[in-house]
Structure 1
Amino acid sequence: MEELFPDPKFLLELAEARMPFGKHQGWLLIDLPEPYVVWFKQKGFPHGKLGKQLETIYVIKANGLEHLFDPLR
């Protein structure tokens, strides 16, 4: 079985990334309300980097791992 290691650069960028549009424009992605992120999951994440970031936020929030970003705030 192959071990998975998170990309530290991606996680640091994710911790600093902001929502570029919509009701929560300007918010840090890591601070988006969980229902909003779940809505994206249901409707489909945007393409590209933002979509990957939002999908990662979804997985983190859905698994109760938000504390991982506490040292990065």
Structure 2
Amino acid sequence: MKAEDLQRLVSVEMPFGKYKGRVIADLPGNYLNWFAREGFPKSDIGRLLALMQEIDHNGLGDLLTPLRQRRDQDR
């Protein structure tokens, strides 16, 4: 994981599928868990999805709160 990956979780949108256009950090846990079972895409998006799934699975979503607030202030 790179330090900037956490910031990317709250800014990069899902480029395909049912949740296309939704920020990766806002994807539901069951969707992330589906990828964990079926396999993450072999891409940068797949790497971010895997990171978000780990954060969500371990109950660490609050780590992203300051980054979300910063993102919202920058808008």
- Scaled by the length of structure 2, the TM-score of the pair is 0.84
Structure 2 letter corresponding to 1:49: D
Q: How many residues align?
A: 68
Is the partner of 2:52 in helix, strand or coil? helix
Matches of 1:43 and 1:20 in 2, distance apart? 18
Q: For 2:25 and 2:49, how far apart are their aligned partners in 1?
A: 9
Structure 2 segments unaligned to the other structure (5+ residues): 69-75
Which one has more relative contact order, counting CA pairs under 8 Å at least 6 apart? 2
Q: Specify the alignment match of 1:40 in structure 2.
A: 35
Superposition RMSD in Å: 1.1
Structure 1 position 14, deviation (Å): 2.1
Alignment of 1:1-73 (within 5 A): 7-73=2-68
Percent identical among aligned pairs is: 40
User: Hey, what's the Cα distance between the residues in 1 that align with 2:10 and 2:24?
Assistant: 7
Looking at structure 1, the residues matched to 32 and 65 of structure 2 have their Cα atoms a distance apart, in angstroms, of: 19
Ranges in structure 1 where 5+ consecutive residues have no aligned partner: 1-5
Cα distance in structure 1, aligned partners of 2:42 and 2:3: 22
Q: Please give the per-residue CA displacement for 1:37-64, whole angstroms capped at 9, x wherever unaligned.
A: 0000011000110110000001000000
